[in-house]
Every structure is written in structure tokens, then in C-alpha cells.
């Protein structure tokens, strides 16, 4: 893979400017350390937040389906 054919993920294209903007905006008030930490946290939230929410929703759906299946099996055994 060459650099010319590489396209970064869409989430990175959106998240990187947001994280950078927040970091630069907070520097005068808090200094580089806290601003970089908040910018990195925002970047991570924008990059992986939707995937974490989807995984959590899927896990919850599987858990509820399992509970319903166990309840139905218990009911049919009576």
C-alpha cells in the first residue's frame, strides 16, 4: 500500500480537527498538558465512541434474548 492510495477512516477525518481545535483553544487557560489531555480524550471519544455504543447495544440485545429464552424454556417445562 502506498501513501497515495491510503485513505484514513472517516471518523479520523472528523475527529482529528475537533481534538486539535479543543486542544489549541484551551492552551491559554490551562497550559499544554491539560489541553492535550482533553483534546486526546475528545479525539478518542469521537473515534471509538460510536463503536462502543453499538457493541453495548448488541450485548444488551443478546443478554435480553438469552433471558427471554430461559424464561420461555422454564415456562414450557412447567
Q: What is the pTM of this model?
A: 0.56
Contact 27, 35 (CB under 8 A): yes
Q: Residue 74's pLDDT band (boundaries 50, 70, 90)?
A: confident
| C-alpha distances in Å from residue 9, one per residue of 5, 17, 42 | 13, 14, 16
**Per-residue cell: 18:** 475537533
**Could you tell me the sign of the dihedral formed by the alpha carbons of 13, 16, 18, 21, in that order?**
negative
The pLDDT tens digits for 7-46 are 767 777 777 887 788 778 888 877 888 888 888 888 888 8
Contact 26, 35 (CB under 8 A): yes
Amino acid at each position: 500500500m502506498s501513501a497515495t492510495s491510503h485513505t484514513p477512516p472517516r471518523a479520523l477525518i472528523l475527529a482529528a480537527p475537533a481534538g486539535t481545535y479543543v486542544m489549541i483553544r484551551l492552551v491559554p487557560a490551562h497550559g499544554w498538558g491539560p489541553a492535550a489531555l482533553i483534546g486526546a480524550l475528545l479525539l478518542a471519544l469521537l473515534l471509538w465512541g460510536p463503536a462502543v455504543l453499538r457493541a453495548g447495544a448488541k450485548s444488551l440485545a443478546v443478554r435480553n434474548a438469552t433471558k427471554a429464552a430461559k424464561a420461555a424454556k422454564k415456562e414450557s417445562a412447567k
